[in-house]
Structure formats: structure tokens, C-alpha cells
Amino acid sequence: MTAILARGLIKTYGDLTAVDHVDLEVGEGEFVGVLGPNGAGKTTLLEMIEGLRRPDGGEVRVLGEAVWPRNGGLQARIGVQLQASSFFERLTVREQIHTFASLYGVGRAPADEWLERVGLVDKISTRVEDLSGGQAQRLSIACALVHDPELVFLDEPTSALDPQARRNLWDLLSSINDAGRTVVLTTHHMDEAEALCDRVAVMDRGRVLVLDTPASLVRGLDAPARITVAPGVLDHAAALELPGVAEVEHDDLDGIVLVTRDPSTVLAELATSRRLDGVRVQTGTLEDVFLSLTGREYRA
């Protein structure tokens, strides 16, 4: 089954073409990412698919139904989490989700269950303006899912979150997809797309450049390998002294990343010094894919 079928979508604003003849097909139960730098057209594309913005050209069908003219019947079947969370002022977390649930005819008990699923039970009496960024994002996702939609749209749900909060939210998003929902995610974080998505559409300047699995996109690239070493195993200076290491990158959660075009030499050296615990090797990244497609480095 096809959850989304878009053909030739166009959206212009004066001389600016925000979305330029985009095709996108998403299967039922897939987790698909639309990634690219700020200004690539990701949000505009999603808004047309969601029925929030009328295309200037092309057509789109969602869950087998036409989106335009505006199809109110689809609203109960999809869930939308916007880039900026919008809540009713001065309401508590529980009041907030109860209000959203009532708009869909959903009872309070199922709404409370969603607060438990997103880890906000201890915040039910907290006003939304007093939530942290990560807590507000989790509440926003719960409100988007309270009516049990078949298809979920998430627009940069982890933007402005710290690394640990991002990883925690990744677990939640994976569980949503594992429960059988189709998920479409926009992000400008390449690592997020690699970690979560079955397939990714790389978008730039209003166009989808490629759509495939992350593994297929990086396979065969003439790109350096990245070897992640667990925290505390190596410091920056010692890492730079390893034979074959060209560059050292930091990772806030996972330790440090050794960039090399000779991974076998680096791994042999790590084995000699018994430093292989927690080592992970990646032979290419989506940043490398973007560079190969556009001829320029990725900038969020």
C-alpha cells in the first residue's frame, strides 16, 4: 500500500521556487526522512502533502485520497507535529492533551496513556510554558498522536535540543514507527536520518536529489572512513598520533571519531593497544552523499 504519492509538486513565492517539480512516494509502514540544509524546501513540501498549503502545480494523494481541494476527511487519519510547538496558553500538560483529544472525540483515558508513553506523567500539572525544550517536543508529539493516526508528519522535531535529549526522542520516534504507523520526518541532521529512517530523500534548493536507503546512498562513495572510539579510550592528542588518522572529530555522547582513508591500519593499531572495545566503523556518511551530489559541503 502507498501512504503518500506526490507527483510534480511545485510551490513558488514570487521569483523563488521553494519546491521544484518534486516526486515522492512513501509506502505504508515506512519511516522516511526528508533531509537537507535550511531553506531546502522541506517544510513547504510537507505542508503541501499535509493539506496545509496549496501546490502551484502537481498533485498529491495521501492514504489513497486527494489532498486538494481541501479534504477534511483526512484530518482524523493523519497526525502533524509542526516545527514550532503551538499550545493553548496557561494550560497544564494534562489540560493541553485533553483539549487536543476532545477535538477528535477521544476520551481522557487514552490521552493520559499518551502522557505516560512520552514520559510526561510527572509533569501533568506543569504549565506548558514551564516545560523544557525536550519536554515540549514530547508533548507536541503526544498531541499529534492522541487520535491514533495512520500517518504521522514530524517537522524537525529535535531542532534546538541537546544531544542527550535528541537521542531520547529518537527512541520515542522509533517506537511510534514500530507500532505500525507510517512516519515522515524532516530534519537537517544527517545522523538523525541515518539512525531512524528506512529511506531518505536528500533535498536541496527545492528539489529531491535522490531517494534511497541510507546504506545504499553511502555504498560505493569515495569517502573516508570514520572510526568511533568509546569515551575515555583515547584523548584528542593520542588519537592524532595514530598511524593513518587524518583528522579527529568529537562526538558528545559516543567519544571521538577518527577520520581515515586507511581504516585497516588504524584498527590494527587500536587492536595492538587493546583499544577495540566500543569501536564502530562507518565507511561513508550522508554528508559525503550531499557533497557528491552538489559539489559543496553540507551546511545545516
- Shared-domain flag, residues 104 and 25: yes
**CATH number of the domain that 201 lies in?**
3.40.50.300
Residue 233 lies in a domain: yes
CA distance 27 to 184: 10
Residue 292 lies in a domain: no
Residue 33 lies in a domain: yes
CA distance 251 to 230: 10
- Shared-domain flag, residues 166 and 203: yes
Classify 286 in phi/psi space as left (phi over 0), alpha (psi -120 to 50) or beta: alpha
Q: What confidence tier does 275 reach under pLDDT thresholds 50, 70, 90?
A: low
- Shared-domain flag, residues 277 and 203: no
Q: What is the CA radius of gyration of the chain?
A: 21
Query: Percent of the chain at pLDDT above 70?
Result: 97
Q: Is 9 exposed, middle or buried (0-12, 13-18, 19+ CB in 10 A)?
A: buried
Name which of 2-16, 55-69, 267-281 the model is least confident about. Answer: 267-281
Task: Using the 3D structure, point to which of 162, 197, 217 is the last residue of a domain.
Answer: 217
Query: Whole domain around residue 274: which residue ranges?
Result: 225-283
**pLDDT reported for residue 204:** 94
Residue 295 lies in a domain: no
CA distance 44 to 53: 8
Q: How many Cα atoms sit within 13 Å of 11 on the Cβ side?
A: 23
Residue 297 lies in a domain: no
Pairing of strands 245-251, 255-260: antiparallel
- Shared-domain flag, residues 147 and 22: yes
CA distance 6 to 224: 35
Q: Are 62 and 151 in contact (CB under 8 A)?
A: yes
The reply to whether omega before 69 is within 30° of 0 (cis) is yes
Q: Are 75 and 151 in contact (CB under 8 A)?
A: no
Q: What confidence tier does 162 reach under pLDDT thresholds 50, 70, 90?
A: confident
Phi, psi of 133 (to 5 degrees): -60, -45
Inform me whether the pLDDT recorded for 41 exceeds 90.
Answer: yes
- Shared-domain flag, residues 41 and 78: yes
- Shared-domain flag, residues 213 and 123: yes
The number of distinct structural domains making up the chain is 2
Name which of 12-16, 19-23, 241-245 the model is least confident about. Answer: 241-245
- pLDDT tens profile 79-101: 999 877 778 889 999 999 999 99
Ranked by mean pLDDT, the top range of 36-45, 223-232, 234-243, 265-274 is 36-45
SS3 (DSSP) at 184: strand
- Shared-domain flag, residues 194 and 261: no
- Shared-domain flag, residues 36 and 179: yes
Q: What confidence tier does 254 reach under pLDDT thresholds 50, 70, 90?
A: low
Residue 130 lies in a domain: yes
Residue 300 lies in a domain: no
Instruction: Give the total residue count for the chain.
Output: 300
SS3 (DSSP) at 171: helix
- Shared-domain flag, residues 194 and 241: no
Q: What confidence tier does 164 reach under pLDDT thresholds 50, 70, 90?
A: confident
Residue 291 lies in a domain: no
- Shared-domain flag, residues 176 and 233: no
- Shared-domain flag, residues 66 and 164: yes
pTM over 0.85: no
- Shared-domain flag, residues 152 and 37: yes
Q: Looking at per-residue confidence, does 154 or 225 come out higher?
A: 154
